[in-house]
Structure formats: C-alpha cells, structure tokens
Chain A
C-alpha cells in the first residue's frame, strides 16, 4: 500500500500531471462538498415543488379513493370556494398585524436597550427569553392565561377592568394569536436591530445634535437610513414567517371562532390532512407559494427605495 502510494507520488513528481490539474481537482472537491445539499435540494425542494403543481391538477381524495386528471378544476374550485374570502382576509389581517406590531416593538425595544443605562443586558435577556421557550409550551400557557377566568383577565380585574373571553370573540381571537406570536418571537428581531444600532457611528448623532436636530429628526435622518438593510432583512423574515404560523393557531383557536383565525396554512392543513382532499390541498399550496414568492420579490424590488446602503 505505502509502496504503491510512494510510486504514485514519485510519478507525480517526475511527470507533469495531464488530467488532474489543480483547477480540476478543486472542481471535483467542490462538487463533492456541495453534493449532499444539492441532492437534498433536488429531492426535498424541487421535486416536491414540481409534484405539488402536478397534484394540483388532479382530483385526489384519499377517503374516496379517487386520483384522476381534472386540469384546472381545482383552481376553479379555489376561485369559487366560499371560504377563501374569509381565509385570505384572516391571513392578510394576521400578517399585517404581526409584521407591523413585531417590527415596531422590536425597534422600540432595541432603541430602549441601546441607551446608556445599567442593566440593559439583563432586560435584553428577559425580552429574548420567550424565543427559547418551546413554541407549543408557550402557546399552551397563553391558552390558559387567555381563558375567560384566566390570568390575563385576573390581572385586568385587579385593575378594575372586565376582560372579554379572548379566544371566543372573532376580533379578540385574531388579536390574541398575533400578540402571543409577537411576544414569543420579537426578541429575535430586537437582537438584530440592536446589532445594527450599535453599528451606527455615535459621532453622527453628536454632529447632528450640534446642528440643532431633535431626537425625532436624528432618528428619521440618521438611524433609519443606516439600519435600513436590517429593516429590510427583518421585514422579509417576518412577513414570510407570518404566513407560516401554524402551531399557535392549531393549539390556541383551531381556526375559530367561525373561521376568524383560519389562515391559509391552517386551511391547507385542514383540507389536505383532515378532510384528505390532497389535490385541493396541493392547489392551496401553490397559492401559498405564489403569495410568498410575490411578497419576497416585491420587498426585494423595493430595497432600492428603502435601503440606504448595501455593502
């Protein structure tokens, strides 16, 4: 064995390599290193994406045992589905509420914690801690707290306010799911904003202050432009994340009351895995993909207007 490799090495030393040049060997190593990820992307991303489009053209009900090509019938069904109006409204309200509240609160917290105060690390830890509590555990606790006689109304009662039955009213249920989700995850965006804020040179603020700019002007003219790449990044992550919320709704409200919290992903799950309409479920998946893709592209397009600098 060693004899053989010695001889190979000798040969390599005495003769110029014809085929295995350095760029070629590099290329081989490159292909080897990316192969697991590439195979996974083809097998678990691209293939299912193709299949979901194919399935959406089939009438496929597992319970009824049907699987036949029906062309655009599922899409016609989608357009005529009396639930779709409510589902899309809930999805839009949920996403808008979540994104606005999340980004506003994350930025506020980050600015508060960026002040020269003692104990900001401590508060940062507290605001971040829900990120670490497992999602369903967090949701279960809130489900308990939001009951008619739960902790939230107990606290409100102590302040002399009569709280509603949060999860049973259409408006309050949607609001509850949004707030539970925002409090759970706002810590992540807060940390990203904090990192961005700490990258803004202090001299800029001092110079602006000398020029007589007030706190609000400094925020709008210095802070926002300089952290705009982070605002773009967090808004993309949060928008796409808001469309994927499932566990919170499944645990807190099961889409109710009525269909007030049935967002698209939850509706997709119901159709595909509870009612076993896999073809229609696939059609809803295509719709979800189109919405996510459109929103991502839109935000990416808007980056020229929003984002002050890109490195």
Chain B
C-alpha cells in the first residue's frame, strides 16, 4: 500500500470517528464544566475550569445511589441467572438425547421470534395479578427465564455442539455421571461462550427501558435509564448539567471495564455461535 493511500485511509478513519467519540467526550467533559461552558457557542471541547458541584446535586434530586444499586444488582442477578439457565438448557439440547427433544427445542426457539414489546401487555397483567408490579421481580424473572434468555441458550447450544464426543466418553470412563461431566468437564471449557453471554446479558439488562417504565412507579425502585430522564426542573425542562453528570456516572463503569478487557470483550462477542 502506498503512503498516500495509507494517509487517506487514516484521514477517513479519523473523520468517521467523530460522531462515535465526540458524544462520549462531550458528556464526560461537560459533566465537570460550569453551566456557562455547557451552553457556550461554539461548544468548548475542554472545560475552562472544573466544577464538580453537579455530581452532588445528582444525589440530592433523586435517590440516585439507591437507583444505581438497583440497576447493578438486577443486572448481576440477571446475568448469573441467565448464564446458569442457558448453560444447562444449551448443554441438554446439544449433548443429551431424550424423547421430544426437537419439539421442545422448537417451543423454546419461539422466544427468538418474539420481541419483548409484543408480550408487554399480558406480562404486565400477569405480574399485576400476582401483585408484583412496582417490584423488581418482572425485571429479574422475565429476562432470566423468558425470551431474552433464549438467545443465550441458543448460543450455548451452538458452542456445546462443537465439543468432541470423546471428551464425554473419557469423563464417563473416569466414572463421572452426566451432572459431573457437565459441571466439572464441559462447563469450564465453555468459558468463552459464557463470557459472551455474560457481556450481552449485562448490557441488555443495564439498558432496559420499556420494562422499568411500565412496571415501576416508585422512584426509589427505579433503574438508571429510567432515573436519568427524571432530572428536570419544575417546568419539565431537562437540567442539562445534572443529567450529563448522572449520565456520565452510568456510562463510565462499563466503559472502564471495556477498556481494560477490550480484546476478550470484542472477540467474545464476535466468535459466539456466529460461525454458521
């Protein structure tokens, strides 16, 4: 490749980067700008001085700490639960023969075809009848067991199918039963697939918006996406500086984890069950 072509490619990449990088940069820097800087025109790329006062206002205006904990624990429980449910079902569908297997797999696969928005009305009624609206149960149970976990089960099944038969035969000769083989031999091998399932399950739960606003009505039970839109003044206009500080706090933890584990992150997502 000639130098000119290389330079042109770099220039193109740099220009294309702007809409991907600028918003995040803007969010983080604006959260520590004084309010006059936020509305500066043309926009200031770096803060003229640092003002962290909006960060404390985030916690004064709403039970933000509680809301942060809600999002974190719900995402953690959903992630661990989905990994368990999907690994078990994926293994059974891939490696065990039992009567009715294909029909049952099709029954489960229907979940892939149904966006959760289609079933939100009846799910709301079901949880309402069970007295579980305005609790976190719908946000935990449905993702772990319902349609969102079907994709995870499918990915785990695709992974387990690729394992060689000899592995399980060897485990069996060594005296392990089905459960032992699954837990001690197969599951440790499935770490890449489990990692990818964990990443996208966590992100999915962290971003969930429709379900929380349908199911929850008490601010102390809100999750972060829902809480972010509540920083408004008495007239309903957004308090931009506070919103940007709160938004930064919800975005940064994941970005930091991502930067630290960038390789595994991207490759995990790219190589999961997408080879055929």
Residues of B within 8 A of A289 (CB): 114-115, 118
One digit per residue, 1 when the CB lies within 8 angstroms of any chain A CB and 0 when it does not, for chain B 2-27 equals 00001001101100110111111011
Nearest A residue to B147, CB-CB = A45
Q: Decide yes or no: A115 and B110 within 8 Å by CB, A25-B178, A44-B141, A149-B41 being known contacts.
A: no
B275 to chain A, nearest CB (A): 7
Chain B residues closer than 8 Å to A135, beta-carbon distance = 207, 209, 225
Which chain A residue lies CB-closest to B105?
A: A34
B119 close to A136 (CB less than 8 A): no
User: B271 in the interface, Cβ–Cβ < 8 Å?
Assistant: yes
B118 adjacent to A132 (CB under 8 Å): no
Tell whether, in the assembled complex, residue B20 and residue A37 are in contact, meaning their CB atoms are under 8 Å apart: no
- A188 adjacent to B228 (CB under 8 Å): no
Which residues of chain A are near B175, meaning CB under 8 Å?
Answer: none
Q: How many residues of B contact A (CB 8 A)?
A: 97
Would you list which residues of chain B between 219 and 266 have a CB under 8 Å from chain A? 224-226, 228-229, 238, 240, 243-244, 247-248, 250-251, 254-255, 258-259, 262, 266
Contacts of B142 in A (CB 8 A): 44
- Of B147, B224, B226, chain A has the most CB atoms within 10 Å of the CB of B147
User: Chain A nearest CB: distance from B61 CB in Å?
Assistant: 15
Contact B207 A134 (CB under 8 A): yes
In the complex, whether B173 has a CB less than 8 A from a CB of chain A is: no
Query: In angstroms, how far is the closest chain B Cβ from the Cβ of A58?
Result: 11
A136 touches B229 (CB 8 A): yes
A234 to B36, CA, bound (A): 43
How far does the Cβ of B247 sit from chain A's closest Cβ, in whole Å? 4
Contacts of B39 in A (CB 8 A): 149
- Give Cα distance in the complex from A188 to B89, angstroms: 26
Residue of A nearest to B178 (CB): A29
| Distance, CA A250 to CA B141, complexed state (A) | 25
Candidates A115, A145, A250, A281; contact of B209 at CB < 8 Å: A250
Would you call A141 and B247 a contact (CB within 8 A)? yes
Residue B43 CB within 8 A of the other chain: yes
A25–B146 Cα distance when bound, in Å, is 27
Q: A145-B23, A288-B117 are in contact. Are A247 and B209 (CB under 8 A)?
A: yes
Q: Which of B88, B141, B244 is close to A141, meaning CB atoms less than 8 Å apart?
A: B244
Q: Please, how many residues of chain A have a CB less than 8 angstroms from a CB on the other chain?
A: 96
Indicate whether A183 sits within 8 Å of B250 (C-beta atoms), given known contacts A26-B98, A272-B120. Answer: no
Q: Across the interface, which residues of A come within 8 angstroms of B197, CB to CB?
A: none
CA distance in complex: A305, B101 (Å): 31
Secondary structure of the B side of the interface? helix
A150-178 Cβ-contact flags toward B at 8 Å (1 or 0): 01001101100000000000000000000
Contact, CB under 8 Å: B147 / A112: no
Q: Does A30 contact B (CB under 8 A)?
A: yes
Q: Are B85 and A40 in contact (CB under 8 A)?
A: yes
Contact A45:B146 (CB < 8 A) given known A25-B178, A129-B21, A129-B258 = yes
Distance from B257 Cβ to chain A, minimum over Cβ atoms (Å)? 8
- Say yes or no: B228 contacts A136, CB within 8 Å: yes
**In the complex, which of the residues A45, A117, A155, A187 contacts B10, with contact meaning CB atoms closer than 8 Å?**
A117
A117 touching B89 by the CB < 8 A rule?
no
Is B97 part of the contact surface with A, judged by Cβ < 8 Å? yes
B149 to A123, Cβ gap below 8 A? no
User: How far is B223's CA from A134's CA once the two chains are assembled, in angstroms?
Assistant: 12
User: A33, B92: Cβ atoms under 8 Å?
Assistant: yes
| Distance between Cα atoms of A134 and B75 in the complex (Å) | 13
Beyond contacts A124-B266, A296-B113: 12 other A-B pairs, Cβ-Cβ < 8 A, are A23-B97, A25-B177, A44-B142, A45-B147, A49-B110, A109-B16, A127-B20, A134-B206, A229-B276, A244-B116, A244-B117, A251-B229
Residues of A at the B interface (CB closer than 8 Å) are 23, 25-27, 29-31, 33-34, 36-49, 51-52, 55, 109, 112, 115-117, 119, 121, 123-138, 140-145, 149, 151, 154-155, 157-158, 179, 183, 187-188, 191-192, 194-195, 229-230, 233, 240, 243-244, 246-247, 250-251, 265, 268-269, 272-273, 278, 281-282, 285-286, 288-289, 292-293, 296, 310-311
